[in-house]
Amino acid sequence: MAPTKNRAVLDWIADMAAMTQPDQMVWIDGSQEQIDALRAQACATGELEKLNEELLPDCYLHRTAVNDVARVEDRTFICSRREEDAGPTNHWMAPDEMYAKLRRLYTGAMKGRTMYIIPYSMGVVGSPFAQYGIELTDSIYVVLNMCIMTRVGNAVLEALGDSPDYVKGLHAKADLDPENRYIVHFPEDNTIMSVNSGYGGNVLLGKKCFALRIASYLGRKQGWMAEHMLILGVQNPAGEVRYLAAAFPSACGKTNLAMLIPPEHYRKAGWKVWCVGDDIAWIRVGEDGRLWAMNPENGFFGVAPGTNEKSNPNALHTTQRGTIFTNVVHNLDNNTVWWEGLDKNPPEHAVDWKGNPWNGKTSSEKGAHPNSRFTAPARNCPCISPEFENPHGVPLSAIVFGGRRARTAPLVYQARDWEHGVFVGSIMASETTAAAAGAVGVVRRDPMAMLPFCGYHMGDYWQHWLDMEQCTDAAKLPKIFNVNWFRTDDEGHFLWPGFGDNLRVLEWIMKRCFDEVDADETPLGYEPRPEDIDLEDSGVDLETLRGLLSVDRDLWLEDVAAIRSFYAKFGDKLPPVLAQELDALEARLK
């Protein structure tokens, strides 16, 4: 018996079931009893392996197919009715053509399988931010992950009521055929379809698919923003908590910043940092004219390799209960997990991420996949914000952009105003590291860290950012900053210690937002006076800091030329304001 009478929901489910032909259908109610039964079922079929209950209570291990280990950008489509609405940074196909292609792949794809119906909420159920979705899937792994990452169950159906306003999501593992793997968004139809994958980023449809690609489209239509940003609160010794949202491309320390642990002398003085979100921020104009941000997720889908007691103890501690580990090493000696960078003691008796026997002491092969993951409940995080469940979110004082630049960008600078800040976000870039495929040091533009996640034309997206200034009380807009933790010396050594020491920069940022400190004007924007950054016990001297804040005009003029060619991609959709900002930057540099 269906737990809802909503015709828009029931008719769509009936259509999808007629196409995919499952043997049975199960509604996910969100109860612990049902979750426990599904876990037991997945362990019986080998889809999950139960880990050591004493050391890792309620934790499980999963392995994906070897050909299915990451998001597939070349198989991810935005199928708007007009190609120009998808823009030059998205793959596009005409909706009718794509629906026909998918119908062939979905027909009979769930024969012999169960269709699970997952009603879920992005955001606290009933909150002004909340958006509802229903994902149909034939994977217990997806169900259990969605129960961690989102708020799942009958409360969602009650909040939705009779409304047809929900995001439809269909996922079928089918044959896991990489040649027929598609992750497709139909923004005008509020629909997401995923087939032939079992990897989280492609199949947990609440994650990037809904929370960014569909939500960015909805936000533009409805006057809010969906951003690829962490949200954190910085509590000063006076007990005030000030909030910022920050966007970084991958491999730039986003999760580490979201769960930052203050340096010792800051801790002793009473500073604290609170994590509101590690990946996604939905931002709305509050009744007070300020921008308020909420994390629409309920868990963390983090990269395991490199996570350890030193790099990110809060993330590590978050994984120690109720977590699903994917594509990591199974340590057979104590039935726990291991990955590269966890510690210096790889297990001798183990199974690698492909399911093969593995001896970490002698093997030259990596045991865990470089993109292996943990799905962990946010409530486990030792520094989770007391405001995490606040239905109204938190008020933003600052928005921070960042990238990985060896020479160009200084440690920190502040944009002159909102329009200049949007420009700073639009030119965000990172240099490739050895971890990324291809040449090292190649500059990749990733505006607002949204290049793979914007559900419509990026030129329109920038215009939406610019338009937000008109929706708010301009005096209350967050100040916009750019940071770069990755400046190096001539030998390639990092000049800034990073990690917890980044709080030294965040302190200055927050003081700027509240007019508590002055700044020096440079061609880029406003920079700290070196003596205004607290360097106590940092290992950084004033001279090094001056170097970190220096602006190399010649390098920046080269960058201006590169930005011009990047902007050219967007044709007449490039907001004129951004072209003017680029001209003004060039003039200041000269």
Q: Which residues contact 25 (CB under 8 A, 6 or more apart)?
A: 13, 17, 114, 115, 116, 117
Burial class (CB in 10 A: 0-12, 13-18, 19+), 238: exposed
Residue 374 annotated as lining a ligand binding site: no
Q: Cα separations (Å) of 481 from 63, 95, 217, 387?
A: 40, 39, 25, 24
Q: Which of 461, 507, 527, 508 is nearest to 271 (CA)?
A: 507
Residue 219 annotated as lining a ligand binding site: no
Q: Phi/psi of residue 373, each to 5°?
A: -135, 160
Residue 253 annotated as lining a ligand binding site: yes
Candidates 79, 147, 209, 252; catalytic one: 252
Residue 228 annotated as lining a ligand binding site: yes
Burial class (CB in 10 A: 0-12, 13-18, 19+), 332: middle
Residue 502 annotated as lining a ligand binding site: yes
Q: Please give the Cα distance from 366 to 339 (Å, whole number).
A: 9
What torsion, rounded to 10 degrees, do the Cα atoms 408, 411, 414, 420 define?
20
Residue 147 a catalytic site member: no
Residue 306 annotated as lining a ligand binding site: no
Residue 201 annotated as lining a ligand binding site: yes
Residue 199 annotated as lining a ligand binding site: yes
Radius of gyration of the chain (CA): 24
Ordered strands of the 373-377 beta sheet: 49-50, 60-62, 324-326, 373-377, 299-303
Residue 500 annotated as lining a ligand binding site: yes
Residue 566 annotated as lining a ligand binding site: no
Q: Please give the Cα distance from 521 to 479 (Å, whole number).
A: 15
Angle between helices 418-426 and 576-589 (to 10 degrees): 90
Residue 321 annotated as lining a ligand binding site: no
Give the CA angle between residues 375, 379, 384 to the nearest 5°: 110
Q: Please give the Cα distance from 417 to 578 (Å, whole number).
A: 13
Listing DSSP states for 30-79 in one string gives --HHHHHHHHHHHHHHTSSEE--TTTSTT-EEE---TT--S--GGGEEE-
Residue 180 annotated as lining a ligand binding site: no
Residue 290 annotated as lining a ligand binding site: no
Q: Which of 173, 167, 26 is nearest to 105 (CA)?
A: 173
Residue 499 annotated as lining a ligand binding site: yes
Q: Which of 569, 63, 10 is nearest to 355 (CA)?
A: 63
Q: Which residues are annotated as a binding site for Mn(2+)?
A: 208, 228, 279
Residue ranges of the annotated binding site for substrate are 71, 199-201, 250, 371-373
Which residue ranges make up the annotated binding site for GTP?
A: 251-256, 373, 404, 499-502
Q: Which residues fall in the annotated binding site?
A: 71, 199-201, 208, 228, 250-256, 279, 371-373, 404, 499-502
Which residues are marked as active site?
Answer: 252
